[in-house]
Structure 1
């Protein structure tokens, strides 16, 4: 969940997924009372988190003494009252004064740290930089979580359940489930050691306990039969050339009567206006590009049949559209920008596409970004959800 308050010439927002309060614009109030809404959101945000709380001031271009004293007072009070919380203020060398100004708080309380951000990634980051793909995965989860948090109970996830998240990637979905549903046990498995290392780091910094991170092959897991009430596998079947092998494993580790839950895409149905034809062409080509690497980004609607063939019962399937109108148009645009670099860059180069194709391919992504940010534009990314019950 993201809460936003627009106050005069600055914006303050809280991102629950990243445990980050972001301040941007120009904060120059004449009286402390003008900071009341901002301070109230800050206090509510800190009260709702555990572990590390991030204050992102990278885009805060001006801050007068009235605003600084209000923020400093609230942060020092929080650091005194919440010894279990670490406060990290993320500054930028581009805004030269911010590191020095906020650095004075570290001297007053060592649980307040100042981190000058340039190109290195940190867990509070919500956009892609320097070609890394971790941030865009976090952004995707942030965008889909707004839908999935209400969808999951319809597909059988209940508080206190035992859960396995297979192909967990960077682990942010498992963290959100832990916060929202408090499963009695969560096992998160992935074949990427670097992703698991990142997932463990985030869980530690956000003080999320009880998630067991396991290195393993989703098609041949070293987990015993029938352990879990709920087994999830998100955006993964579509990137394996033999998804049925993974589905069989998901079913195997699920308890009789438990449910297997999967999400996948039908990427050719990404849409946007204005410039709809260009956008449609690019995503149709993206589907073909993945097919050339034995991956199926059209798998979403096929999930029903895949679960049916695996012997599951009471199969439920639905879809939702992630859009720029969900409340964070910039995050949607950042996600598409990262797709462009990953797919029109590395994958097209590996396939050997010529310059004319790549230019046209990129144009569709850029038109999708423009649609997302256009005041009257609409941009969408469709996701399919399916689940089935393992027979007793």
Structure 2
């Protein structure tokens, strides 16, 4: 949710994935009534969450007393009206006045905490120990969820099912599933203990119950056969050198008549304007790079064949394009930058690319960022969705 500004240069937005309400720009109303739409949006956002709610003011350059009293007063009203609600205000050491101003709220309610972005952990934090990629994964989920919320319903997900999210990563998709579809049971499995620790932390902070986070190998899961109505595995078959082994396990744990839902990419179809030629050249190279490490970032359109070969029936398939128009273009740009850091960084170096090759490789990512942030530009990242039913 993104709002129009009270005055030029100010806006707010609510990130459901992070349970975070953010303020941006300069907020200097002359009368408290000018804050009504912002306050209303804050109330609406809080009504849809449980547990810890984050208020992010680190990009708020200015805030006069009229705005502060209206906004801070509403935060106090909200925590006093709900004993289960805890609010954390995230400020920045760069904008020192915000920490001093909002710190007073901590003295007025034990359910309000204030911390500087540079020092405190929270789900949207930019850098985490052993988890620099975490915020990018969360941003990716935020952008894809805009599309997948409706797609999942078309592929058979509905409330009350037994659901498994395999290769769940940091668990943000599982949280959204739990909130939106309220499954009767939800198991989220991954092979990364640090990712699962993070997932459990977020679920606890958000007051999310009902997700059973499990450590395990997706190719040899210690889960009983024939127990889930709906099994998801997103952006994961493409990173395994033998995706058919993962599919066999997904099929095994799925009930007869249940569905398996997968998403994968075809990175060579990433696009952007302007500078399309450089962008196309770079993402063609991404496909070759992944193939060098026995991974298939081009797997997306092949999903139907994989599901048929696995023995699934009633195959449904569609694709969608995540773009710079899906929200804040900077979010899309941040994803591209993370790709550059990993692909043109560690992976290209390990492949043995020369400095000149890496410079050219990096330029394409920067051109994609340029397209994403250009006022008349367009940038896209395509994703393929496929699902199939396990025979009865």
Shared topology, TM-score over 0.5? yes
What's the offset of the Cα at 1:119? 6.0
Structure 1 residues 140-219: aligned runs within 5 Å: 140-219=140-219
**Offset, 1:82:** 1.1
Aligned mates of 1:47, 1:5 — CA distance in 2: 21
CA distance in structure 1 between the aligned counterparts of 2:120 and 2:290, rounded to whole angstroms: 30
Displacement, 1:124? 3.1
Contact 1:311–1:390, Cα closer than 8 Å, also in 2: yes
**CA displacement at 1:122 relative to structure 2:** 2.0
Matched, 1:5 2:4: yes
Structure-2 change in CA distance of 1:136 and 1:120 (3 Å): farther
Distance 1:144 1:321 in 2: 9
Shift of 1:325: 1.4
Asked whether the 8 Å contact 1:119–1:129 carries over to 2, the reply is no
Instruction: Show CA shifts across 1:305-356 (max 9, x none).
Output: 1110110000011110101112221111111011111111111111121111
Secondary structure of the corresponding residue to residue 23 of structure 1 = strand
Asked if 1:340 is matched to 2:340, the reply is yes
Using the TM superposition, give the Cα deviation of residue 54 of structure 1 relative to its aligned residue in structure 2, in angstroms. 0.5
**Alignment partner, residue 269 of structure 1:** 269
Tell me how far apart the structure 1 counterparts of residues 51 and 128 of structure 2 sit (CA, whole Å).
25
Greater shift after overlay, 112-121 or 157-166? Answer: 112-121
RMSD: 1.2
Query: Which residue in the other structure is 2:303 paired with?
Result: 303
**5 Å matches for 1:1-392?**
2-8=1-7, 9-118=9-118, 121-125=121-125, 132-392=132-392
> Whole-Å Cα distance in 1 between the matches of residues 158 and 36 of structure 2?
38
Please, which moves more after superposition, 348-357 or 265-274?
348-357
Q: Distance in 1 between matches of 2:6 and 2:121?
A: 29
Deviates more, 1:110-119 or 1:203-212: 110-119
The alpha carbon displacement at 1:6 in A equals: 2.3
Report if aligned partners of 2:256, 2:391 keep a CA contact under 8 Å in 1: yes
Tell me, yes or no, if the aligned pair for 1:19 and 1:124 is still in contact at 8 Å: no
Which stretch has the larger CA shift, 116-125 or 176-185?
Answer: 116-125
Quote how far apart the aligned CAs of 1:142 are: 0.5
CA separation in 1, counterparts of 2:88 and 2:189? 29
Counterpart secondary structure, 1:6 = coil
1:74-114 Cα deviation digits (max 9, x unpaired): 00000100110110000000001111110000000010100
Deviation at 1:128, TM superposition (A): 6.3
Structure 2 CA distance for aligned equivalents of residues 119 and 294 of structure 1: 39
Q: SS in structure 2 opposite 1:99?
A: helix
Query: By how many angstroms is 1:4 displaced?
Result: 2.7
Distance, in Å, in 1 between the alignment partners of 2:267 and 2:119 is 30
**1:120 Cα deviation (Å)?**
5.7
TM-score by length of 1: 0.97
Shift of 1:3: 3.7
TM-score of the two chains, using structure 2 as the length reference: 0.97
| Structure 1 residues without counterparts, runs of 5 or longer | none
Distance, in Å, in 2 between the alignment partners of 1:302 and 1:167 is 19
> How far has the Cα of 1:185 moved from its partner?
0.4
Q: Does the 8 Å CA contact 1:51/1:205 hold for their aligned counterparts?
A: yes
Distance 1:120 1:240 in 2: 35
Count of residues in correspondence between the two structures: 390
Give the 3-state SS of the residue equivalent to 2:169 in structure 1: coil
